[in-house]
Amino acid sequence: MILFIILGVLFLGSLIIVITHSYRPNTARSWLIAMVTALVAWVASFVMRLYLPSEANLLTWFPGTRYGEILGHFVDYNNWPYMVAVLSMCVAALLADVTRTQPGITHYSWSQTISITGLNLLAILSANPLTMAIAWMITDLVELYSLLRLSKAAELSSKIVNLFAIRIFSTFMLITATSIAWQGEPFLGFEVMHPNASLFFLLAAGLRLGVFPLNLPILDSPELRWGAGTLFRLTPAASAMVLIAHLPEGLTIFNQNLLNIFQVLTLIAAFYSSLMWLTRKTQFEARPYWMVTLSAFAIQSALNGHPEASRVWGLALLLSGSLLFLFDPPIRRIRFLPLLGLLGFIGLPYTLAASGWEGLLPDTFNFTSVILILTHAFLVLGYIRFIIKADSTVTGLEKYARITFPLGLVTLIQTILVLGLVGWPGVLTVGSLLGSLSSLALVLLGLLVGWRLGFNMETETISQRFPPYRLISTIFNFFRKVLSLDWLSNLVNRAYTSLSGLMAFFSEILEGDGGILWSVVFVVILSILFLAPGR
Amino acid sequence: MSNTVIIWIVLPALLGLSLIFIQRLPKLSAVLGTLFPLVFAGLALIFSRGLTLIFIGRVFTLADSLTIFGRTIQITADQLGIIALLYMLCFAWNLVGRLFIVSQWFNSLSLVITALWVSVQFINPFLYSAVVIELIALISVPLLSPRGTPARSGVLRFLSMQTLAMPLILLSGWMVSGIETSPSAEALVLRGALLVIAGFSLWAGIFPLHSWLPMLTEETHPWVISFLQTIMQIGLAFFSLKFLNQYAWLRNLEEIKIVLKWVGALCLISAGIIVTFQRKLSRIFGYLYLSGTGYIVLSMAFQQQGWLNLLTLYLLPRAFGYWSLGYALSLMHEALGSEALRLSELKGLIWRYPRISILLLCSLLNIIGMPLFSLFPSHRIIWSVLASESLPIRLLIGFGLIGMIIMFLRVLAAAIQPAGVINDDKQERAVLIVPVVMIISLMVLGGLFPQAFSTPLQDLFISFQNLLP
Amino acid sequence: MTEFLQSLPVYIALLAALLNLVRRQWSLNLVALVVQFICVFPPLLKILPLQLALIHPFTGLMVTLILYLTLLGVGGIKAIDLRHTLTSGELFRGAAGVFLLATLRAFLPQIHQAVFPLVSIDHLFLSLGLILIGLLQMGTIREPFYLAIGILTFLSGFELLYSGLEFSFLLEALLVAVNLLLAIVGSFFIIKDSESEAA
């Protein structure tokens, strides 16, 4: 029931905004409706914690036949934290957005914020992969529509196609996975994810998150930096994270060699992205790398046989991430607020991410562990760096905005704290001291070096003070080119052009003057093939 | 009059022919052309529970057979579901046919063609239906190649292929006559099966005998070709089921199942690969029919495992998918004034014609079988059951689907590419929002409540007793 | 001699079909088509009663008449020019046709024995020969008129073959309808083409 209230109230709110605005336009009223709607859903989501697990069947396809399927929603400890996180982001985005005066902020933005949240919740709360595939499709189409409204620029249109292509292929992978997992029984839940289909499920999530292959499905349009933009970029990852969290622990029994390949790819993606995160100029430029690094952490957890540990990295991606990205304008006086976002992913004992080390660091300490600890440290360092760089002194803020803006950030912080306490049984844990303390040590070392450099990442400054920088930079650029996949895109284009010519030639033969005779020849050949075997 | 054959074959054909005489009154012709099939479909549904009807105290009883040239044609109550479906197709296409500039004979000939497709299902001996299919092909010519345009190669190729198919089917019947009583004639059975497969392959345009399909869709108005191809695909599906139902030797032949599986998979992969390289939407439409044929053939390959039921889940959404895509392409045809609908002409379509573009994109997603849309539930079942098949078949189907997705992305890329300067003073009609919203809603409803599409057809195959599990 | 006379219609019909395959003169083609349909009559008479055997040639004559009247309407009927030299395309088609017929003749006994033992050799040669030439015509030509002739030749061969296997009034009626409709479609194409050219 509460589940329906949460979803219903979001969609209803969105509808009311559209209707009332078309009747008598008033942006403030629209914001208020959106705010009330989001708050009701947000509070209800906390109440939901008392009723876990809880389910709601929506539809049954072909009941009574062997093709029966069930579409529905389900909340448990795997997806409840994500639901709370996404709703908190919605509330925070609405509160933070009122500081902005750009013309792009209209009633449509408010309505979009809550409807996008509602749609993503449909996917996050899916009871089974089938429901999730449908919810993904809805979300992707709405996202496509919204992005197309943003801009007609040629560059953006090709990026939109790329983004949608990745999304649709991820949905295709999910369908493939469910098809493989189908055992002639209706899908009741995620338990259908047998090990033989799990890799496809992982691939579906990896594609959506931008990890397999390393892609950055992010459009860095100025419009997408606002509240709804942050939601657009971050929330689709949540449902993919839920999918990872549901993967069976027996994933590793499927094909060890294939798993190793995945593991190496994820590791490369994580390390590379964390370095990029650390070295970008602004947090918005670095946002895709934030997502890829933490997504790679989540996938790594699943590959190490601890899919439930992926939760904390997913939550860090959403909560700490949105805390930083919504901190715009970056007001110097309140920069301690986003700094508290570190609690979401620093991984120290009894913080939210403490249980995440279990997924990252396998039982035996090895080279992979070193890389992952290093990656984590880079991530923390980058986060701190962007906050330290916040030195804006905005003076023209409205009175209400002076309250709502920090309040939005506080919403996220308190969600991190609450989830760190009651997110799921066993959330309060020491975690891996080796991992957390090593990472912390590296961070402190990095801060020391940064302090010496004046936290200046300009190429010239670093190369003067750190001689091997040029060599590292060359290697790094090489990796960057390889991982950008531009070479692959060129290769595919060339292959496509060549094949296109071949296909045209083939069509010309079949559709040309002698086409019928060719058809007769084909019939004869196929007849021989049909009659020949065993005779 | 009180005879099923007269009501659902002779009368519609005569009414269709009579509409030719009022073609100069297009509105009246369109209204009657829409009304007649609706009435015949409605009557078929009413009588499908029994050929006796009590209405306002009067009893109407229909005879179920008619003898022509010494042969008896029989239509029983069980078979009226098929008839209702065929007339519903005719109704659906005539309903909005007048919105487009198609042949003035569309209303009349569509009704005649539907009556002939009905007769194909019931002529006895059923092999002679092959000649009726040839007649249908010939009658379709004025629609495919209306006056004022030169005869193009697609329609000529279509005629040739349909003509080639007919003898193969007729000869198969002769070749295997008496096969039931001589169980040792294995070679004869194989030859007969081969003729049947070759005949159907030519009719349906199965790879590599499909060349006429994209040629025809390229040069014909999308509304006309979508009607002709949809009714042909569904009519042929019923006819081939009749073959399987009648001929135990064909049904029980082990090779036929293997061949059908491979033929289905081949259709999907060939359509998927070729469609990736197409530059014209009109030709893409043709390959979508090829892919649809693949799914139908796959359903038949597994008929013994109860896949016939699957066909009932599949037929109506597919027909609706073709209808909506045909509608979208026809709107584009009129809006862009382009026959081939090249992808390069679609630049900026989403901003120039947003409603048509959205309909087009949703229709493509629907026909590919993506989630949320009406074909997904049945496609999903097919993919799931095939997942346990051999790896090559799985790969063929998977790559076929990937090809279709790439095609969709190419269309999307073309539609959202900025158009630059276009001297186009045409404006999209605002009223289009109504049909577009209705059609997309129906697609989504079918995708969420698939029973809505499958329940009306649940007894469709009741007359194919030998094929039911 | 009697045997030769009995086989004569077979060869004349095939020759007429070959002529239609090779030459592109509407008047000549119509005459050849009439000859082809008439020459089918004697083989049919061997297996069917007179009234039934007459159906096919009679339909053929009607078909030719429809095509003739259409061609007359669009001004396509001209005096037959027999002195016209053969083009390379005509030579190729002619050679291909002859090659096909020769191959068919060579394998005819095996086909007869394995597939159609109930049909006489001459009957089989004529029917399969017409089918092959019709097929070649359909496969190498795009002009509607010649395609119609190709289909008519193909169907003629098939009807001949099938009548040697079994006979049905319903089927015969349907095939007559197909032939007549084909002629109408052919005429339709001819008129359309002439309209397009005029425009």
pLDDT tens profile A321-379: 999 988 877 788 888 888 899 999 888 999 988 988 988 887 777 888 899 999 999 99
A517 close to B (CB below 8 A) = no
DSSP H stretches of helix in C74-143: 88-114, 121-140
Do residues B464 and B308 touch, judged by C-beta distance below 8 A? yes
Q: Cβ of A516 and B160 within 8 Å?
A: yes
Q: What is the C-alpha to C-alpha distance for residues C149 and C133, in angstroms, rounded to an integer?
A: 10
Q: Cβ of B174 and C165 within 8 Å?
A: yes
What pLDDT score does B40 carry? 95
Across residues C44-49, what is the average pLDDT? 88
Give the pLDDT band (50/70/90) at residue A394: low
Percent helix, strand and coil across chain C, each to the nearest 5: 85, 0, 15
Q: How much of chain B exceeds pLDDT 90, in percent?
A: 54
For all residues of chain A together, what is the average pLDDT?
Answer: 83
Residue A243 is encoded by which pair of tokens?
């999918």
Q: Cβ of B141 and C185 within 8 Å?
A: yes
What is the residue-wise DSSP string for A450-499? HHHHTT---HHHHHHH-TTHHHHHHHHHHHHHHHHTHHHHHHHHHHHHHH
Partner residue facing B160 (CB), from C138, C184, C195: C138
Q: Cβ of C192 and B68 within 8 Å?
A: no
On the 0-12 / 13-18 / 19+ scale of CB atoms within 10 A, C117 is exposed
Query: Would you call the peptide bond into B208 cis, given omega within 30 degrees of 0 as the criterion?
Result: yes
Domain limit, last residue, from B67, B91, B124: B124
Residues B146 and B288 grouped into a single domain: yes
Beta bridge partners of residue A57, listed in sequence order: A72
Backbone angles phi, psi at C49, to 5 degrees: -65, 160
Q: What is the C-alpha to C-alpha distance for residues C36 and C10, in angstroms, rounded to an integer?
A: 9
CB count in 10 Å sphere of residue A129: 25
Q: Cβ of A137 and B194 within 8 Å?
A: no
Across residues B89-117, what is the average pLDDT? 93
Residues B142 and B83 grouped into a single domain: no
Residues of chain C in contact with residue A509, where contact means CB-CB under 8 angstroms, are none
Please give the residue of chain B at the shortest CA–CA distance from C168. B69
Q: How much of chain B exceeds pLDDT 70, in percent?
A: 95
Domain limit, last residue, from B76, B102, B124: B124
Counting as contact any 3 or more CB pairs under 8 A, the partners of B are A, C
Partner residue facing B377 (CB), from A61, A63, A510: A61
Closest by alpha carbon to A224, among A151, A317, A289, A138? A151
DSSP H stretches of helix in A76-181: 80-97, 107-124, 129-150, 154-181
Residues B69 and B196 grouped into a single domain: no
State which amino acid sits at residue B398.
G
Residues of chain A in contact with residue B211, where contact means CB-CB under 8 angstroms, are 507, 510-511, 515, 519
Tell me which DSSP letter residue A62 carries. S
C162 close to B (CB below 8 A) = yes
Do residues C129 and C101 touch, judged by C-beta distance below 8 A? yes
What pLDDT score does B142 carry? 92
Q: Cβ of A515 and C139 within 8 Å?
A: yes
Residues of chain B in contact with residue A515, where contact means CB-CB under 8 angstroms, are 157, 211
Max alpha carbon distance in chain B (Å)?
A: 73
On the 0-12 / 13-18 / 19+ scale of CB atoms within 10 A, B55 is exposed
B381 close to A (CB below 8 A) = yes
Across residues B68-80, what is the average pLDDT? 85
Residues of chain B in contact with residue A204, where contact means CB-CB under 8 angstroms, are none
Q: What is the C-alpha to C-alpha distance for residues B292 and B286, in angstroms, rounded to an integer?
A: 10
Q: Cβ of C142 and A513 within 8 Å?
A: yes
Beta bridge partners of residue B165, listed in sequence order: none
The beta strand positions in B224-354, using DSSP E, are none
Beta bridge partners of residue B61, listed in sequence order: B52
Partner residue facing B405 (CB), from A137, A169, A519: A169
Examine the pLDDT at A101 and tell me if it is beyond 60: no
B400 close to A (CB below 8 A) = no
Examine the pLDDT at B86 and tell me if it is beyond 90: yes
Residues B114 and B134 grouped into a single domain: no
Across residues C60-68, what is the average pLDDT? 93
Q: Cβ of C181 and B69 within 8 Å?
A: no
Q: Which of A270-279, B419-428, C9-18, C117-126 has the lowest mean pLDDT?
A: B419-428
DSSP three-state, residue A330? coil
Q: Which of A240-244, A345-349, B178-182 has the lowest mean pLDDT?
A: B178-182
Closest by alpha carbon to B241, among B314, B174, B348, B187? B314
Residues of chain C in contact with residue B159, where contact means CB-CB under 8 angstroms, are 147, 151, 185
A505 close to B (CB below 8 A) = no
Q: How many contiguous H segments (helices) and E segments (strands) does chain A have?
A: 21, 2
Q: List the 96-155 stretch of B: residues with Cβ below 8 A of A.
A: 153
Residues B273 and B387 grouped into a single domain: yes
Q: What is the C-alpha to C-alpha distance for residues A274 and A288, in angstroms, rounded to an integer?
A: 10
Closest by alpha carbon to A241, among A340, A307, A322, A183? A307
C91 close to B (CB below 8 A) = no
Q: What is the C-alpha to C-alpha distance for residues B71 and B436, in angstroms, rounded to an integer?
A: 48
Q: Which of B139-143, B191-195, B344-348, C86-90 has the lowest mean pLDDT?
A: C86-90
Residues of chain A in contact with residue B259, where contact means CB-CB under 8 angstroms, are 530
Backbone angles phi, psi at C27, to 5 degrees: -65, -45
Q: What is the C-alpha to C-alpha distance for residues B72 and C170, in angstroms, rounded to an integer?
A: 10
What pLDDT score does C199 carry? 64
Partner residue facing A179 (CB), from B210, B387, B451: B387
Task: Identify the domain containing residue B133 by its residue range.
Answer: 125-467
Q: Cβ of A514 and C140 within 8 Å?
A: yes
Please give the residue of chain A at the shortest CA–CA distance from C138. A516
Q: What is the C-alpha to C-alpha distance for residues A55 and A127, in angstroms, rounded to an integer?
A: 8
Examine the pLDDT at A187 and tell me if it is beyond 70: no
- The rounded Cα A108 to chain-centroid distance in angstroms is 24
* Mutation to test the A interface, candidates B175, B359, B381, B410, most A Cβ within 10 Å: B381
Across residues A492-504, what is the average pLDDT? 88
Alpha-carbon radius of gyration of chain A: 25
What pLDDT score does B160 carry? 92
Residue C72 is encoded by which pair of tokens?
């007359």
A179 close to B (CB below 8 A) = yes
Q: What is the C-alpha to C-alpha distance for residues C16 and C184, in angstroms, rounded to an integer?
A: 22
What HEC string does B38-79 produce?
HHHHHHHHHHCCCCEEEECCEEEECECEEEECCEEEECCHHH
Counting as contact any 3 or more CB pairs under 8 A, the partners of C are A, B
Give the pLDDT band (50/70/90) at residue A154: low
DSSP three-state, residue A72? strand
Examine the pLDDT at A464 and tell me if it is beyond 90: no
Examine the pLDDT at B82 and tell me if it is beyond 80: yes
State which amino acid sits at residue A477.
N
Those residues whose C-beta lies under 8 Å from the C-beta of residue B25, and which sit 6 or more positions away, are: none
What pLDDT score does B89 carry? 96
Q: Are strands B58-61 and B65-68 parallel, antiparallel or unpaired?
A: unpaired
* Domain segments of chain A as ranges: 2-453, 485-531
- Residue C53 C-alpha, separation from nearest chain A C-alpha, in angstroms: 31
Across residues A71-96, what is the average pLDDT? 92
Q: Which of A191-195, A469-473, B138-142, B267-271 has the lowest mean pLDDT?
A: A191-195
Residues B143 and B82 grouped into a single domain: no
Give the pLDDT band (50/70/90) at residue A1: confident
Partner residue facing B150 (CB), from C131, C135, C196: C196
* Mutation to test the B interface, candidates A149, A192, A493, A526, most B Cβ within 10 Å: A526
Examine the pLDDT at A29 and tell me if it is beyond 70: yes
What pLDDT score does C62 carry? 94
pLDDT tens, position by position, A2-24 = 888 898 999 999 999 989 888 88
Residue A246 is encoded by which pair of tokens?
């549901």
Across residues C155-181, what is the average pLDDT? 90
Counting as contact any 3 or more CB pairs under 8 A, the partners of A are B, C
Residues B73 and B143 grouped into a single domain: no
What pLDDT score does B266 carry? 92
Residues B318 and B388 grouped into a single domain: yes
pLDDT tens, position by position, B374-415 = 999 989 888 888 877 778 888 899 999 999 999 999 999 999
The C-alpha angle C22, C27, C29, rounded to 5 degrees, equals 35
Examine the pLDDT at A98 and tell me if it is beyond 90: no
The position carrying tokens 């790594």 is A300
- Residue C142 C-alpha, separation from nearest chain A C-alpha, in angstroms: 7
Percent helix, strand and coil across chain A, each to the nearest 5: 75, 5, 20
Percent helix, strand and coil across chain B, each to the nearest 5: 75, 5, 20
Q: What is the C-alpha to C-alpha distance for residues A326 and A324, in angstroms, rounded to an integer?
A: 6
| Sign of the CA dihedral with A69 first, then A74, A76, and A81 last | positive
Domain limit, last residue, from B124, B143, B161: B124
Do residues B412 and B361 touch, judged by C-beta distance below 8 A? yes
Tell me which DSSP letter residue A247 carries. S
Please give the residue of chain A at the shortest CA–CA distance from C141. A513
Please give the residue of chain B at the shortest CA–CA distance from A139. B372
Please give the residue of chain C at the shortest CA–CA distance from B140. C185
Give the pLDDT band (50/70/90) at residue A218: low
What pLDDT score does B218 carry? 93
What pLDDT score does B8 carry? 94
Q: What is the C-alpha to C-alpha distance for residues B367 and B378, in angstroms, rounded to an integer?
A: 11
Q: Are strands B58-61 and A54-61 parallel, antiparallel or unpaired?
A: unpaired
What pLDDT score does A226 carry? 58
Q: What is the C-alpha to C-alpha distance for residues C46 and B414, in angstroms, rounded to an integer?
A: 65
Tell me which DSSP letter residue C107 carries. H
The position carrying tokens 């186009």 is B424
DSSP three-state, residue A211? coil
| Region for A350 from its dihedrals, namely left if φ exceeds 0, alpha if ψ lies in -120 to 50, beta otherwise | left
What pLDDT score does A459 carry? 60
CB count in 10 Å sphere of residue A493: 10
Give the pLDDT band (50/70/90) at residue A455: low
Those residues whose C-beta lies under 8 Å from the C-beta of residue C96, and which sit 6 or more positions away, are: C136, C140
Q: Cβ of B160 and C147 within 8 Å?
A: yes
The C-alpha angle B432, B228, B398, rounded to 5 degrees, equals 85
What is the residue-wise DSSP string for B307-318? HHHHHHHHHHHH
Residue A417 is encoded by which pair of tokens?
């704290």
Residues of chain A in contact with residue B385, where contact means CB-CB under 8 angstroms, are 182
Give the pLDDT band (50/70/90) at residue B51: confident
Residues B347 and B447 grouped into a single domain: yes
- Residue A196 C-alpha, separation from nearest chain B C-alpha, in angstroms: 12
State which amino acid sits at residue A484.
S
Do residues B346 and B238 touch, judged by C-beta distance below 8 A? no
Partner residue facing B128 (CB), from C138, C174, C193: C174
Alpha-carbon radius of gyration of chain B: 22
